[in-house]
Amino acid sequence: MASGTGKKTGRKKASRKAPARPAHGGRRPVRARRRQRRWRRDHLRLALRIVAALAFVAGVVSGRWLLGLDQTVRERFEGRRFRVPSRVFSAPTILYPGFSAQRFDLKGQLLRRGYREQSGARGTPLESGRFRWSPNRVRVHLRAFEHPTRSEPARDIVMRIARGRVEEMRELPRGREVGAVLLEPEQVGAFYGSSREQRDLVRLEDVPPHLTDAILAVEDRRFESHVGIDPVRIAGAMVANFRAGGITQGGSTLTQQLVKNFFLTPERTLRRKLTEAVMALLVEVRYDKPAILQAYLNEIYLGRRGSTSVHGVGEASRFLFGKRAADLTVSESALIAAIIQSPNRLSPHRNPTVATQRRNLVLQLMREQERIDSATLAEAEAEPLGVADIAIDPGDARYFLDLLRRQLPEVYDSQVLEAEGLRIYSTLDLRLQRAAARALENGLTALERDFPGVRSEDPADRLQGCVLALRPQTGEILALVGGRDYGLSQFDRCAQARRQTGSVFKPFVYAAALDASAGIPHITLASFIEDGPLEVQTPAGPWRPENFDKKFHGRVPVREAIERSMNVAAARLGQEVGIDQVVAMARRLGVTSKLPRVPSLALGTAELSPLEVARAYATLANGGQRPWPHALEDVVAPDVGTLDRRELRFERTIDPGTAFLTTELLRGVVDRGTARRIRAMGMEGSIAGKTGTTDDERDLWFVGFTPELVTVVWVGFDQPRSVGISSSRAAIPIWVDFVSEAVGKRVRGVFPRPHEVQAFAIDPRSGALAAASCPSSRREYFLAGTEPRDICTFGGVRRAGDAHPRRRRGILDWLRGR
Amino acid sequence: MPGTPRRSRFRSTEAILLVVLGALSGACAALPGAPGRDPIHISELVDQGDPVRRASQRLLVEGLEADAAGADARAKGRYERAIQLDPTNPYAYLTFARFEVERRRATQARAWLDQTYALFDAAGGLPSRVEAHVIGLGGAVEAIRGNRTDAARDLERARRLAPVVWGDAYLSAEELL
């Protein structure tokens, strides 16, 4: 029955579906159909299983993907979001009555710090960070300077100027007279990572509301209401793009822009857009709107400054307007918002007209969205762009930055310096640094022009040089130029090079001979030295020093011997004092390099760095107190405080009397000797120094100092070979160019004479004390008790016994109870 | 009354002698370095020297005022700038030495004091009105280091030179100002 019914049913169905019966009978097609059905069912099941498996795998993969994206988002948001390069700042500039506004280029200093000139009547208010300039009156509203220990308030200062000098300074509004004010430090450079991003972080609460309003008005008006993606905006962008026949408008929300900048590449693919949208949703789920907005304000790219990129509104405020984001006006805020779309194309420096149009568009959008009123719109639109001059990082301070980095404690490694946003305050005087860089380049270029033999077409083989200036009383390095082109060679010829010093070493020999700490000095300034043939036996054979002019000069006064840089006299003096004493004196002065204990050391065969030479001369300039040359003032971490600061260190290593007498000899070198070119070039005042030229004129030195500044100039080739020029011709013009720019042609101050040094009239021919009847006399200095005992009268010199009695106690000995 | 004129003569001679002695002691007190002479105040120096020195002294005065008001950071900043502006100003180092003594930092205080010595010495010696401060601060440094004998000796010398200021073995910012 069952089968019959089945057959019948099957037939009926078959007749309905397939009217043409196959020729091979009824039973076989039924079986085939059943098989077919089973096959279909099995395959359907298989397909379903595959789909289920695939769905499972896709679920796992997408789940993992989502989890991965979520983790990425959280890590970036909850960990350190930004790598902020640490910045290095110069020392502040101090303005005071008597300050030369002309020489110190006050206007340039203000402009470089981002101050802007503002016109207006005399009594009208002046914003912070602005100045008003007229020939005899300058008004500056100094910005506040924030520092854990050296903060300065904002001050409105008016200066009366006459003949290029500040005559008087008063603080407004009260008109109180002020003695000195500080211009905040200038940025010298920064320790960038490979991305070379500049960023100054801001907190949302420190940003004026009109800045966020301007950004939201133009970039994402529904930011407060959307969930990370904005379908309305996407639809609008699609319609606009369709009409334009290309991509003219983006539909990205501010969150999507942030996600793109934070995590993704700028490629335009569907996959990237999908990832961006999902991540934007995740960001919105995880974080509140203020956190997202703050991250955006700090991340957004806003243009280029030299070789670095400007990120975030904090940095952009400083870059464009030289002020903090908190101080931005409505118009300035609108400009920042305006350039987000295309910072380079809309750059107000390059395309001010386009930038103004775009800024006004932003202002109008703000008005349309009722973020500002009509009066504010009109006022802001009328405002000029007012962007500050671009202050490119002064590249010529990069040798200094390298030195500073080497002087920083080891904890400040690259990771820390390139990410932690530290503020590193240095000793650099940027005005002097620029002057040093200019003087070196001008000097070397002039030498190449005047002496074609030193010119080289190979950039790696060019004539090189170094200029280093430090303050002897504190050891602060004020300027350092370690070569002509940092881009070409980062080798610092001031601090890393060690070169033969030549005659620059001789003052150490004379200082050892003048030193009375062990009792009686070997010489006084009235002594004579024999400049005659000298032969010293050494393990390498006899050594016979020669003078530059290949002549011997016989018995010469000490002053003449050093003023004319006589080699044989210095070598003989070195032998008399003892090379060990000479080495000891060099060490006391601050030389740390290896010093060969050979007779020729007295003539400067030791290889020293310009930095240690500067330190040794600074000890002389500082009355025998040895300073520690340093480039760092302090390191400040944002929101933490001062992490490190240098403490000044001094060490009394030679008597003030010895330092003064050696300085006196070196004054003679400048007044009458091998460095007299300095006087011929118009420099006046207390200057001491020594030239140095090594064999074959390979190394050309001049070390000169005033009471407040020690400056070393070195000229030569990296691969030592003859320059063929004297140090007087090569190094002195660079020194004069720099020092006259730094301190003026007339230097300030005198080398103070210590209590234990006394002046006597002496007979220059005999070195005896000059009585009133002595035919000739000049004034000479002696440590108390070391003055000559012989007396010159009209009738000749009357000899006395002991020429060098034990010297008297100095005031230091007395005060220290010695 | 034979004795009366003689006695009156004696009294007048005595009076003259007293007057002369009084005048002499007054003159002695006014001589440089004489015990009891008022030691230097930085505010007296703001109009002395060239513009750089004057501005440096003004910064010191501002620093001392801040110091006296308890604004340590501002005070220190001012002292540093006074040195930056005029590194040869010995009073800047003296003022800094006092600042460090008050904070019991003997090493730094000694360094500043050494530089003070060096600059005054190089300029021809310690002015008499500075002597008490330099010696007293040296004594205070020794006291911080625990060298009681040296400290007592120097502080006693300072006290004898300037009893009003150094009577309590302490130099305040106001006293130096």
Report whether A780 contacts A526 (CB < 8 A).
Answer: yes
CB pairs under 8 A between A and B: 124
**Residue A469, pLDDT above cutoff 60:** yes
**Residue A74, pLDDT above cutoff 90:** no
pLDDT at position A146 is: 85
| Residue of chain A whose alpha carbon sits nearest to that of B77 | A150
Contact between B111 and A647 using a beta-carbon 8 Å cutoff:
yes
Instruction: Please count the other Cβ atoms lying within 10 Å of the Cβ belonging to residue B167.
Output: 10
Contact between B87 and A150 using a beta-carbon 8 Å cutoff:
no
Report whether A810 contacts B121 (CB < 8 A).
Answer: yes
pLDDT at position A105 is: 87
What is the rounded CA–CA span in Å between residue B102 and residue B106? 9
Contact between B51 and A96 using a beta-carbon 8 Å cutoff:
yes
Which chain A residues have a beta carbon less than 8 Å from that of B107?
647
Grade residue A229 by pLDDT with cuts at 50, 70 and 90: confident
pLDDT at position A13 is: 45
pLDDT more than 70, % of chain A:
92
Grade residue A306 by pLDDT with cuts at 50, 70 and 90: confident
Which chain B residues have a beta carbon less than 8 Å from that of A648?
108, 111-112
Which residue matches tokens 């003989």? A572
What is the rounded CA–CA span in Å between residue B129 and residue B138? 16
What is the rounded CA–CA span in Å between residue A245 and residue A238? 10
Which chain A residues have a beta carbon less than 8 Å from that of B152?
none
Per-residue pLDDT reduced to its tens digit, A376-386 = 999 999 988 88
pLDDT at position A464 is: 96
Q: How many angstroms away from the CA of B22 is the closest CA of chain A?
A: 32
Q: Which residues 6+ apart lie within 8 Å of A376 measured at CB?
A: A330
Residue A148 preceded by cis peptide, ω within 30? no
Which chain B residues have a beta carbon less than 8 Å from that of A660?
122
Best mutation target among B42, B74, B88, B128 (most A Cβ atoms within 10 Å) is: B88
Q: Which residues 6+ apart lie within 8 Å of A398 measured at CB?
A: A189, A486, A490
Q: Which residues 6+ apart lie within 8 Å of A206 measured at CB?
A: A324, A325, A326
Give the helix/strand (H/E) hosting A94. Answer: strand A93-95
Per-residue pLDDT reduced to its tens digit, A29-52 = 788 888 888 888 888 998 899 999
- Higher-confidence residue of A238 and A398: namely A398
Partner residue opposite B121 with nearest CB, options A472, A648, A754? A754
Give the helix/strand (H/E) hosting A134. Answer: strand A130-134
Contact between B62 and A647 using a beta-carbon 8 Å cutoff:
no
pTM of structure: 0.80
pLDDT at position B11 is: 59
Q: Which residues 6+ apart lie within 8 Å of A466 measured at CB?
A: A440, A481, A482, A483, A492, A493, A494, A497, A610, A712, A713, A714
Instruction: Please count the other Cβ atoms lying within 10 Å of the Cβ belonging to residue A72.
Output: 15
Q: How many angstroms away from the CA of A400 is the closest CA of chain B?
A: 19
> Which two tokens mark A339?
């350039």
Per-residue pLDDT reduced to its tens digit, A581-624 = 999 999 999 999 999 999 999 999 999 999 999 999 999 999 89
Contact between A811 and B51 using a beta-carbon 8 Å cutoff:
no
Best mutation target among B47, B115, B116 (most A Cβ atoms within 10 Å) is: B115
pLDDT at position A687 is: 97
Distances (CA, A) of B177 to B47, B75, B104, B119, B171: 14, 12, 20, 20, 10
Report whether A280 contacts A273 (CB < 8 A).
Answer: no
Partner residue opposite A623 with nearest CB, options B46, B122, B138? B122
Per-residue pLDDT reduced to its tens digit, A624-682 = 989 999 999 999 998 888 898 887 777 889 988 999 999 999 999 999 999 999 999 99
What is the rounded CA–CA span in Å between residue A763 and residue A772? 11
Report whether A557 contacts A527 (CB < 8 A).
Answer: yes
Q: Return the amino acid letter for A539.
A: P
**What value does the mean pLDDT of chain A take?**
87
| Residue of chain B whose alpha carbon sits nearest to that of A626 | B115
Q: How many angstroms away from the CA of B3 is the closest CA of chain A?
A: 56
What is the rounded CA–CA span in Å between residue A29 and residue A36? 10
| Residue of chain B whose alpha carbon sits nearest to that of A476 | B84
Q: How many angstroms away from the CA of A330 is the closest CA of chain B?
A: 34
What is the rounded CA–CA span in Å between residue A87 and residue A423? 5
Helix (H, G, I), strand (E, B) or coil at A146: coil
Contact between B114 and A650 using a beta-carbon 8 Å cutoff:
yes
What is the rounded CA–CA span in Å between residue A606 and residue A595? 6
**Residue A395, pLDDT above cutoff 60:** no
Instruction: Please count the other Cβ atoms lying within 10 Å of the Cβ belonging to residue A766.
Output: 18
pLDDT more than 90, % of chain B:
52
C-alpha angle with apex A634: A630 to A638, nearest 5 degrees? 155
- Higher-confidence residue of B155 and A750: namely B155
Mean pLDDT computed over A128-145: 91
Partner residue opposite A97 with nearest CB, options B51, B57, B73? B51
Grade residue A246 by pLDDT with cuts at 50, 70 and 90: low
Q: Which residues 6+ apart lie within 8 Å of A314 measured at CB?
A: A199, A200, A201, A202, A297, A298, A324, A325
Mean pLDDT computed over B33-50: 78
| Residue of chain A whose alpha carbon sits nearest to that of B120 | A754
Which chain B residues have a beta carbon less than 8 Å from that of A179?
46, 54-55, 57-59, 61-62
**Residue A560, pLDDT above cutoff 70:** yes
Contact between B118 and A474 using a beta-carbon 8 Å cutoff:
no
Q: Tell me which residues of chain B have a C-beta less than 8 Å from any C-beta of chain A.
A: 46, 50-52, 54-59, 61-62, 73-74, 76-77, 80-81, 83-85, 87-88, 107-108, 111-112, 114-115, 117-119, 121-126, 134-135, 138, 153
Partner residue opposite A149 with nearest CB, options B77, B112, B119? B77
Question: What string of DSSP letters covers A602-664?
Answer: GGT-SEE-HHHHHHHHHHHHTTTEEE--B-EEEEEETTTEEEEE----EEE-S-HHHHHHHHH
**Residue A295, pLDDT above cutoff 80:** yes
User: Helix/strand/coil (H, E, C) string of A28-83?
Assistant: HHHHHHHHHHHHHHHHHHHHHHHHHHHHHHHHHHHHHHHHHHHHHHHHHHHCCCCC
Cα-only R_g, chain B: 21
Number of continuous H segments (helices) and E segments (strands) in chain A: 24, 34
Listed range (A182-196, A231-245, A589-603) with the worst mean pLDDT: A231-245
**Residue A557, pLDDT above cutoff 80:** yes
Mean pLDDT computed over A154-174: 92
- Higher-confidence residue of A566 and B110: namely A566
What is the rounded CA–CA span in Å between residue A200 and residue A85? 9
What is the rounded CA–CA span in Å between residue A727 and residue A278? 70
| Residue of chain B whose alpha carbon sits nearest to that of A96 | B55
**Residue A164, pLDDT above cutoff 90:** no
Grade residue B115 by pLDDT with cuts at 50, 70 and 90: confident
User: Helix/strand/coil (H, E, C) string of A451-494?
Assistant: CHHHCCCCHHHCCEEEEEEECCCCCEEEEEECCCCCCCCCCCCC
> How long is chain B?
177
Grade residue B125 by pLDDT with cuts at 50, 70 and 90: confident
| Residue of chain A whose alpha carbon sits nearest to that of B131 | A815
pLDDT at position A802 is: 44
pLDDT more than 90, % of chain A:
53
> Which two tokens mark A469?
């200036």
Per-residue pLDDT reduced to its tens digit, A496-536 = 999 999 999 999 999 999 998 877 899 999 999 999 999 99
Best mutation target among A149, A178, A427, A432 (most B Cβ atoms within 10 Å) is: A149
Best mutation target among A648, A652, A658, A809 (most B Cβ atoms within 10 Å) is: A648
Contact between A812 and B117 using a beta-carbon 8 Å cutoff:
yes
Considering only CA atoms, which of B106, B95, B31 is closest in space to residue B57? Answer: B95
- ipTM of the assembly? 0.75
Per-residue pLDDT reduced to its tens digit, A410-438 = 888 888 998 889 999 999 999 999 999 99
Contact between B118 and A180 using a beta-carbon 8 Å cutoff:
no
**Residue B36, pLDDT above cutoff 60:** no
Contact between B119 and A473 using a beta-carbon 8 Å cutoff:
yes
pLDDT at position A390 is: 64
Instruction: Please count the other Cβ atoms lying within 10 Å of the Cβ belonging to residue B45.
Output: 18
Q: How many angstroms away from the CA of B24 is the closest CA of chain A?
A: 28
Helix (H, G, I), strand (E, B) or coil at A807: coil
Considering only CA atoms, which of A487, A494, A527, A424 is closest in space to residue A764? Answer: A527
Give CA A17 to chain center in angstroms.
91
